[in-house]
Structure 1
Amino acid sequence: CLIGLLQTWRGTIRFMEQDVTALEADARARAGFGYIPQGRDVFPQMTVEENLRVGELIGGPGGKKLPELVYEYFPRLKERRRQAAGTMSGGEQQQLAIGRALIGNPSLMILDEPSEGIQPSIVQHICEALRSFRNELGTTIIFVEQNLDTILAIAERCYIMEKGKITQSLAGAEVNEDNVREQLLL
């Protein structure tokens, strides 16, 4: 519902003081939403560079684009810019999916399971990049994640959900407290 792929059945979604509830997904992307789905969804036949150019289409014609910044955060993408995205590792594809969203300079990035199926060293690099987006660019990041280390590396605030309902709200550091960890692991 947040990114516009499903209709809301009640309530309102407000973004930057605007009601975006009725906007389609593409309009939300142009309004500043960046979405990185679970499974990455890069265009496998296209090169890294071509995938990133798709990201340049997002954010509207006058929006600031950040192609060099993507290569700064993810230098591996620059090395592989002429390589077909489908031949890259899962971690490289995840960096590409994040870079494709970042290139449109979103105000809000939404990630679904950013660490899924990725080797720990690449997850650590992705977490560092996401913290930089938040701290240096002012990008708000919402992510769904089950990996506790990833949560602790990125989150400032955590919402625990059970069966689609928020059951707890915690500061990011509180998730690492023994009593909270025990409760979450039950």
Structure 2
Amino acid sequence: MYKIFVGDKPMVLSTETSDDKGVKNYKLSRVLLRNVIRKLNESSLEEARLVHKNEKKLLKKFLKKLPNVVAGGGKVYNDDGKVLFIFRNGKWDLPKGKIEGKENIEETAIREVEEETGVTGLEIVKPLETTYHIFKRRGRYKIKITYWFEMKTSFDGKLYPQEKEGITKVKWLGKKKTKKALKNSYANIRSLV
């Protein structure tokens, strides 16, 4: 099972339909994604379930339905155990961005964290789950596939929000402040943190 977020509402890829209230089932092979996205955005529908009999082909078949944007990002811890957050478009988020040129996804994740926050000395500890969300650019829907990594750093310098990317704040947040920030974040970020 996979979850692809449209805002905070999930499209669930599954081999089984759901009878739950607020869930609408669709056959993955026949679904028009723009109609499902519109329904999730404009109705009280809580979840769209896209069903296919072959579990191994669920994600592959889904990803063919829209252009893919591949990104890398980091859940970064400092020596005090605080997590690095950015504030962009009125929400708390983790730093991430699109792959460039021939860099591998780990290089992308480190570069994006550095560019968006000013933090250096990053070391990848381990990969985290991959998240998927749908967004709209220039009138077209796309699927962002973000590969996340847990990182650590001993950096204790000044934080610099990348303003040209719409980032207005960068903060190290402890457990209490992280919990508060997640109330004003995205569903895929809450699942990571």
TM class by shorter chain equals under 0.3
TM-score normalized by the length of structure 2: 0.26
TM-score normalized by the length of structure 1: 0.26
> Relative contact order (C-alpha < 8 Å, sep 6+): which is higher?
2
Structure (1/2) with the larger helix percentage: 1
Q: Return the index of the structure with the highest Cα Rg.
A: 2
Structure (1/2) with the larger strand percentage: 2
